[in-house]
Amino acid sequence: MSLTSMLEAAAHGGTIEVEPGWTQGRAIFGGLTGALLLAAMKGRIAELSATTGKPDTVPPLRSITVSFVGPATPGPVELAAEVLRVGSNVTQCQATLRQSGEVVATALAAFGKHRESALSVAPTHGAPALPEPSSIEAFPYIEKLTPEFYQFVELRQVGGQMPFSGSDSHDISGWTGLREKPQHLSEEHLVLLADAWPPAPLQMLDGFAPGSSLTWTLELIAEIGPQSVPGTTDFAYRATTDSARDGYAHTHTMLWLPGGELAAISRQSITIFG
């Protein structure tokens, strides 16, 4: 089952099959988990819209927060989504991912319509100066060495060092995109790509130690949809480590469209076992 097929199945809720190859360590890659949860929520909102007319359409995603409760493995997973409230402008929804009867991830998301406002502040963080994506070789997928999901994403690193290299650096920059280009990029694709890089502080460790996301919030600034972002798009990426102590690290990340428009802001709490 392709990524497109998994996302389409997730939009209907219920049990879907996560194909092998989408793991990061022992668990399903967190970006895919977030994308599946988002697809389930959007599917539930679309169903409600079709039956009640409220909301009249699925509004653009404004924010999604994912809690990774436990590791999920490839195979059958169960998705359930619930619309919490449909307001005049904002629709709020939650979704849960279960495996073998246990909750493995939950998400809350806010979807908001356009509305008139006197407030307009341009993003204060410009895109990093990066070479063209085509001039940088993407990380290869190497069986049993790199995460399995590298088969499906292209990461082209410019700043920072490799994980577990004992580096003094704790930031990362580069380009991120999909290996198999869809016709267009959706919000679900952006959620997946925003979590594709290894946590920035792992490069400071001198030797392998496991780490995993605990909580993750992604805020969308640009509207990502079939009329606006082609599937060939690579996003500029920059991650900054804000703090690390007591086995937890905290990072914030920004992604930009190729023209320099800020697309999304991400924040993660990460557990570090080393």
Residue ranges of the domains in the chain?
1-113, 130-274
The helix/strand/coil state of 16 is strand
Distances (CA, A) of 249 to 88, 120, 211, 272, 273: 38, 32, 10, 7, 11
Answer whether 56's CB lies under 8 Å from 93's CB.
Answer: no
| pTM (two decimals) | 0.95
Closest CA to 27 of 75, 95, 61: 75
Q: Assess whether pLDDT exceeds 90 at residue 208.
A: no
**Cα 266 to chain centroid, rounded:** 9
168-203 residue pLDDT tens: 999 999 999 999 999 899 999 999 999 999 999 999
223-256 residue pLDDT tens: 998 788 999 999 999 999 999 999 999 999 999 9
7-55 residue pLDDT tens: 999 999 999 999 999 998 889 999 999 999 999 999 999 999 999 999 9
Closest CA to 25 of 146, 201, 204, 164: 146
The helix/strand/coil state of 256 is strand
Q: How far apart are CA 27 and CA 91, in angstroms?
A: 31
According to CATH, what is the number of the domain 130-274? 2.40.160.210
Q: Which two tokens stand for residue 132?
A: 């063209």
Q: Do domains 1-113 and 130-274 have the same CATH topology?
A: yes
The helix/strand/coil state of 268 is strand
Pairing of strands 14-18, 75-86: antiparallel
Partners of residue 88 on adjacent β-strands: none
The CATH number of domain 1-113, selected from 2.40.160.210, 2.40.160.20, 3.30.460.10, 3.30.70.520: 2.40.160.210
Q: At what angle do helices 187-194 and 30-52 cross, to 10 degrees?
A: 160
Answer whether 173's CB lies under 8 Å from 156's CB.
Answer: no
Answer whether 72's CB lies under 8 Å from 97's CB.
Answer: yes
